[in-house]
């Protein structure tokens, strides 16, 4: 029986598991969290469940049906609390990086099609990847070691919030929308009594809605993109939008919710500073021009006790990079029509191939699981998933056009604004070091500024540092292909766990 390993049990991973099972493959599904569902279907632990999850979650019935199907299926093993810390490329996978350390970093995808330049391998090619995971409580001393060599690998590792820095963003009381949402959905805790929601993207709306449901006063949703940009992004070729009926209804639902709760929604506006000494006490908001530069004279101070700020999402690419997958020019995993990556036997689905939301993730997951399990193109469930994928990729493009980050944001930084929080690297020194060394290497700049070298390994600041260095050191990326997505150790593990020899207590399996 074909053995499929799926990493990540959010919407994409769950859909992949179902599709692979439908094709008769044996499935192992690993997720780092205590339960499946991912960021999207994050929910209360069973012990606290209030039984009204459906009120807070879209598609809750879809999720619970998927989960119970897979839980009850003896051909699908779900390992919760399993963190994949390394993927080794086998001898049969792609080329060893030939000429120099950075030469073959996967960034060579075709920008236009988002597909690998290389001809994708046939599905019966095993990549020979070895996946190393640890299962159990992170602070536990006897986590179970899991080493797997599946016939095919589906990566569905998702994305996390991206927040652009602003002065004061490191104060207690500033949250990412994801963290605020997790507290509201997962623990029914609100982040504050008077909260400003700021940033860019349609995700700000459900966050505001969740906050309101937990009794918070949302002083405003401040969307950085201007009304004209939003309209141009969302409303181009509107007849195509109609095909995405459900998504349209979802967005309309949020708009109606806002009216009901009278949350002011301000476009072309950003929180450009958070005030306070020990915690946030107020924010300054300002109108922005089309490039997101604050317009002088429009600043307004609003008292708040919390801020949720998010500007889209960063895909979690380290495992895809470790597996050897080629990335696209805009740093997503390059996949072909069957969700195959450039690596034999490795498929990718969901936010790591492009930020597009739950429906797109599920469509891609279904296609990836189907093909990973040896399915062909003509099968009818996949045909439906392909149609859905097309529709929701169109939505994803609209989101990017409407809410994509504009370069003027860096003008709201001051020299003291912390850029890398782990290593406390501030904007002024980052810029000055880049200028002093005149370096053209991102690798060298990371090591000489320490930006992105801390415990989060650039997950939070990597894209920001990248963007700032492109502005301050225009040649910084000319001569190396270093990236912040290269993390051979995908998460920290104790030396004892690393040193532990597999033959001692290993559960080494064929899949």
Partner 1 sequence: MDVIVIGAGIIGAAVARELTRSGIAVTVIERGAAASATSASGEGNVLVSDKEPGPELVLAQYSARLWPQVARELADELGGTIPADGLGGGHRAGSGAAFPSIEFDRKGGLVVATTDAGIEPLRDFAATQVAAGVDARPVTLDEARELEPDLTPSATAAVYYPEDAQVQPVIATEALLASARRSGASVLEGTEVTGGLRGADGRLSGVRTTAGDLHADAVVTAAGPWSAELTARLGAPVPVQPRRGVVLVTSRMRPRIFHKVYDADYVDAVGSGDAALQTSSVIESTAAGTVLIGSSRQRIGFDDRLRVAVLREIAAKAANVFPFLADTPAMRCYGGFRPFVPDHLPLIGADPRLPGLWHATGHEGAGIGLSVATAALLRDLMTGTEPAIDALPFSPARPSLAEHLQEVM
Identity of the residue, 217 or 437, whose beta carbon is nearer to partner 1 in the bound complex: 437
- Least distance (Å) between residue 187 CB and partner 1: 26
∠53-54-55 over CA atoms, to 5°? 90
Identity of the residue, 313 or 484, whose beta carbon is nearer to partner 1 in the bound complex: 484
- Least distance (Å) between residue 450 CB and partner 1: 6
Identity of the residue, 241 or 322, whose beta carbon is nearer to partner 1 in the bound complex: 322
- Least distance (Å) between residue 211 CB and partner 1: 33
* Separation CA 466–CA 408 (nearest Å): 15
Identity of the residue, 88 or 125, whose beta carbon is nearer to partner 1 in the bound complex: 88
- Residue in this structure with the two tokens 């990847």, named with its chain if needed: 129
* Separation CA 353–CA 332 (nearest Å): 5
Binding site for partner 1 (CB under 8 A): 86-89, 96-103, 130, 132, 322, 423, 429, 432-433, 435-441, 443-444, 447-450, 453-455, 457, 475, 478-480, 482, 487-489, 492-496, 498-501
Identity of the residue, 381 or 454, whose beta carbon is nearer to partner 1 in the bound complex: 454
- Least distance (Å) between residue 136 CB and partner 1: 15
∠74-77-83 over CA atoms, to 5°? 170
- Least distance (Å) between residue 147 CB and partner 1: 9
Whole-Å CA distances, 221 to 164, 204, 261: 16, 7, 12
- Least distance (Å) between residue 469 CB and partner 1: 12
Identity of the residue, 131 or 200, whose beta carbon is nearer to partner 1 in the bound complex: 131
Backbone angles phi, psi at 180, to 5 degrees: -65, -40
- Least distance (Å) between residue 277 CB and partner 1: 25
Which tokens hold the place of 451? 């930006």
Nearest one of 78, 73, 60, 72 to 11, comparing CA atoms: 60
User: What are the strands, taking DSSP E only, across 212-326?
Assistant: 217-223, 265-267, 269-275, 282-287, 300-303, 306-310, 313-315
Identity of the residue, 290 or 478, whose beta carbon is nearer to partner 1 in the bound complex: 478
Identity of the residue, 269 or 441, whose beta carbon is nearer to partner 1 in the bound complex: 441
Residue 496: count other Cβ atoms within 10 Å of its Cβ. Answer: 8
- Least distance (Å) between residue 289 CB and partner 1: 30
- Least distance (Å) between residue 429 CB and partner 1: 7
β 217-223/194-199 pair status: parallel
The half-sphere exposure of 312 on its side-chain side, counting CA atoms within 13 A, is 20
DSSP state of 377: T
- Residue by residue, DSSP assigns 93-155 as SS----SSTTTT-S----TTT-S-SSPPPPTT-----EEEEEES-TT-S-PEEEEE--SEEEE
Identity of the residue, 266 or 450, whose beta carbon is nearer to partner 1 in the bound complex: 450
């Amino acid at each position: 029986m074909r053995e499929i390993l799926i990493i990540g049990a959010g919407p994409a991973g769950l859909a992949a598991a179902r599709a692979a099972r439908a094709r008769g493959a044996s499935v192992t599904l690993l997720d780092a969290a205590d339960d499946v569902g991912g960021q999207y279907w994050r929910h209360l632990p069973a012990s606290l469940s209030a039984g009204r999850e459906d009120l807070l979650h879209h598609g809750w019935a879809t999720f619970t049906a998927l989960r119970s199907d897979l839980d009850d299926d003896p051909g699908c093993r779900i390992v919760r609390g399993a963190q994949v810390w390394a993927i080794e490329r086998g001898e049969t996978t792609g080329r060893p990086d030939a000429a120099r350390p950075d030469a073959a970093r996967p960034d060579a995808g075709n920008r236009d099609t988002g597909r690998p330049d290389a001809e994708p391998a046939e599905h019966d090619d095993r990549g020979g990847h070895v996946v190393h995971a640890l299962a159990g409580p992170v602070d536990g001393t006897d986590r179970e070691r899991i080493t797997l060599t599946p016939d095919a690998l589906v990566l569905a590792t998702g994305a996390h919030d991206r927040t652009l820095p602003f002065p004061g963003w490191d104060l207690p009381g500033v949250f990412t929308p994801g963290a605020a949402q997790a507290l509201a959905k997962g623990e029914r805790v609100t982040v504050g009594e008077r909260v400003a929601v700021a940033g860019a993207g349609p995700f700000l709306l459900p966050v505001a809605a969740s906050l309101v449901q937990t009794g918070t006063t949302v002083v405003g949703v401040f969307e950085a993109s201007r009304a004209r940009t939003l309209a141009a992004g969302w409303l181009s070729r509107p007849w195509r939008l109609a095909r995405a009926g459900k998504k349209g209804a979802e967005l309309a639902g949020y708009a109606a919710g806002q009216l009901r709760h009278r949350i002011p929604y301000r476009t072309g506006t950003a929180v450009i500073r958070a005030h306070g000494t020990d915690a946030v006490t107020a924010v300054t908001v300002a109108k922005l021009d089309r490039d997101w530069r604050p317009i002088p004279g429009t600043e307004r101070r609003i008292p708040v006790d919390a801020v949720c700020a998010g500007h889209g999402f960063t895909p979690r690419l380290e495992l895809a990079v470790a597996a050897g997958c080629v990335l696209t020019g805009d740093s997503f995993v390059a996949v072909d029509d069957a969700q195959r990556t450039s690596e034999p036997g490795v498929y990718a689905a969901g936010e790591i191939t492009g930020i597009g939301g739950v429906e797109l993730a599920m469509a891609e997951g279904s296609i990836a699981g189907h093909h990973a399990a040896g399915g062909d193109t003509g099968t009818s469930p996949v045909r439906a998933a392909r149609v859905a994928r097309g529709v929701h990729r169109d939505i994803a493009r609209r989101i990017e056009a409407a809410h994509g980050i504009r370069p003027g944001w860096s003008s709201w930084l001051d020299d003291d604004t912390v850029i890398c929080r782990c290593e406390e690297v501030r904007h002024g020194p980052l810029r000055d070091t880049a200028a002093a060394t005149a370096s053209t290497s991102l690798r060298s700049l990371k090591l000489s500024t320490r930006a992105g070298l801390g415990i989060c390994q650039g997950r939070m600041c990597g894209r920001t540092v990248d963007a700032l260095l492109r502005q301050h050191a225009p040649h910084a990326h000319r001569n190396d292909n270093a990236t912040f997505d290269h993390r051979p150790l995908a998460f920290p593990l104790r030396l004892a766990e690393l040193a532990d020899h597999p033959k001692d207590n290993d559960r080494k399996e064929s899949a």
